[in-house]
């Protein structure tokens, strides 16, 4: 069961972080004051997590998992307290809905494993790298077991 949970954490964080980089960070760059710098800081945080996830995937070191979870908690708390409310205040309802739709579509095309050396600047380069990695990740995923993660429709 421990491996199933670890595999699920790796998969879900990899999908979420890459989707965020491809979909949300370009919107932050465009709409926030000092948006480029803000998105770069967020990408650097993601890079740290990707590096740690990549190492955790091969070692399953519980100490590394604790570090990853601590970093993620801080990142999520910041997003929920500041980033999401600020972004919501800058987007119209239709822009917000478009972002949600783009998120849902993109998350099905991104890698399911961490790729720390892949491009992370968003846009077509990261999207193309993700689509190229996805088939290999899916092949690897067939050899692993996961915890079922319910999705809202």
What mean pLDDT do residues 52-62 have?
Answer: 93
Helix (H, G, I), strand (E, B) or coil at 150: coil
pLDDT value, residue 130: 67
Given a contact cutoff of 8 angstroms between Cβ atoms, the answer to whether 43 and 121 are in contact is yes
Q: Round the average pLDDT of the chain to a whole number and report it.
A: 89
Helix (H, G, I), strand (E, B) or coil at 96: helix
pLDDT value, residue 129: 74
The domain segmentation of the chain, as residue ranges, is 2-141
Half-sphere exposure of 130 (CA within 13 A, CB side): 26
* Rounded distance between C-alpha atoms, residue 25 and residue 42, angstroms: 8
pLDDT, one tens digit per residue, over 81-125 is 999 999 999 999 999 999 999 999 999 988 998 888 776 766 667
- Return the higher-pLDDT residue of 79 and 116: 79
pLDDT value, residue 116: 81
pLDDT value, residue 124: 67
23-48 per-residue burial string, b: 16 or more CB within 10 A, e: under 16: bbbbbbbeebeebeebbeebbebbbe
pLDDT, one tens digit per residue, over 120-141 is 766 667 767 767 788 888 888 8
> With 60 as the cut, is the pLDDT of residue 153 above it?
no
């Amino acid at each position: 069961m421990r491996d199933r949970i670890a595999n699920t954490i790796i998969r879900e964080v990899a999908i979420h972080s890459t989707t965020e980089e491809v979909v949300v960070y370009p919107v932050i760059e465009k709409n926030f004051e000092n948006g480029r710098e803000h998105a770069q800081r967020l990408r650097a945080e993601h890079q740290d997590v990707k590096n740690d996830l990549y190492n955790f995937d091969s070692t399953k070191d519980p100490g590394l998992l604790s570090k990853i979870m601590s970093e993620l908690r801080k990142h999520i708390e910041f997003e929920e307290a500041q980033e999401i409310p600020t972004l919501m205040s800058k987007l119209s309802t239709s822009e917000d809905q478009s972002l949600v739709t783009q998120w849902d579509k993109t998350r099905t095309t991104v890698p399911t494993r961490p790729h720390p050396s892949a491009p992370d600047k968003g846009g077509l380069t990261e999207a193309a790298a993700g689509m190229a990695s996805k088939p290999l990740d899916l092949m690897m995923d067939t050899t692993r077991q996961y915890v079922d993660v319910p999705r809202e429709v």
